[in-house]
Amino acid sequence: MASEGSKRILIVEDEPDIVRGLKDALTFEGFTVEARGTGAEGLSAAADWQPDLVLLDLMLPDDNGYRVCEALRARDPAVPIIILTAKAQEADKVRGLDAGADDYVTKPFSVAELIARINAIFRRQSRMAASDETFAIGPWTVNARKHTITRGRQSKRLTFYELEVLKLLRERADEAVSREELLDKVWGVSAASTNRTVDNFIVKLRRKLEEDQKNPRHILTVYGLGYKLVP
């Protein structure tokens, strides 16, 4: 366990300029930072050092970043993994999220925005102790510790933000929660400062949870307001 206020961030990235910039900025923010330049070194550092969050480049000299992501995820179902990618293709982002990443930033990225997202992740995590570990939505059981939803033998992984959206909707079950509130409480940003929409995450959650995405029964749109969860 890292001491409070000194979260550990592991950077797995081989581009020296990016490593230097990130290391300086994150250290200045009060994080403890380690950096490794290959997938093998990154995995070994993750095992030895138990970081609180991983920033992972997809294009590493020795290994495919997706494989590193899967290996990190297999070790620890909950550690937030943010992919750093020069690939702007939607398919690569989807593949990264499928490999167990929680989020991605596309190079060149704003360090300030990345830090804001990291801080929001840690803020939400510190609230997690207060929330239930498992809860039901229709036929699914959500496990907040394992980041999974299960139904019989079927199990799907939720990314960090998918889970956080679901938890916030669940805290306010049967009430409408506005997009602005979701952005503010989950991402810690105002609607104007981000290009990612809450709607995209709702689509992903419906894909995982709903029998019929066109006629959702659990994650409902409240026109003009936002969304509400009907467990």
Residues forming contacts to Ca ion in the complex (CB under 5 A) are: 14, 57, 59
In the complex, minimum distance from the CB of residue 63 to Ca ion, in angstroms, rounded to a whole number: 11
Tell me if residue 105 falls in helix, strand or coil: strand
Q: How far apart are CA 188 and CA 115, in angstroms?
A: 11
Which CB sits closer to Ca ion, 82 or 142?
82
| Nearer Cβ to Ca ion (39/100) | 39
Taking the least distance from each CB to Ca ion, the nearer of 18 and 166 is 18
CB of 59 to Ca ion, least distance (A): 4
Question: Nearer Cβ to Ca ion, position 57 or 164?
Answer: 57
Give the nearest distance from C-beta 84 to Ca ion in angstroms: 8
| Cis amide linkage into residue 108, ω under 30° from 0 | yes
Long-range contacts of 157-163 (CB under 8 A, 24+ apart): 157/73, 157/77, 157/100, 158/205, 158/208, 159/97, 159/101, 159/102, 159/103, 159/204, 160/80, 160/102, 160/103, 160/121, 161/102, 161/103, 161/186, 161/187, 161/201, 162/201, 162/204, 162/205, 162/208
- By beta-carbon proximity to Ca ion, the closer residue of 12 and 182 is 12
C-alpha distance from residue 201 to each of 16, 91, 116, 206 (Å): 33, 16, 19, 9
Q: Determine contact, residues 65/56, Cβ cutoff 8 Å.
A: yes
Q: How far is the CB of 80 from Ca ion (least distance, A)?
A: 20
Q: For Ca ion, which is the closer residue by CB, 19 or 165?
A: 19
Q: Report the residue closest to Ca ion, judged by CB.
A: 59
Q: Kindly report the length of the chain.
A: 231
Least separation in angstroms between residue 152's CB and Ca ion is 40
Strand 32-36 versus strand 8-12 pairing type: parallel
| Least distance to Ca ion, CB of residue 102, Å | 20
Tell me whether residue 104 or residue 201 sits nearer to Ca ion (CB atom).
104
Please, what is the minimum distance in Å from the beta carbon of residue 156 to Ca ion?
A: 30
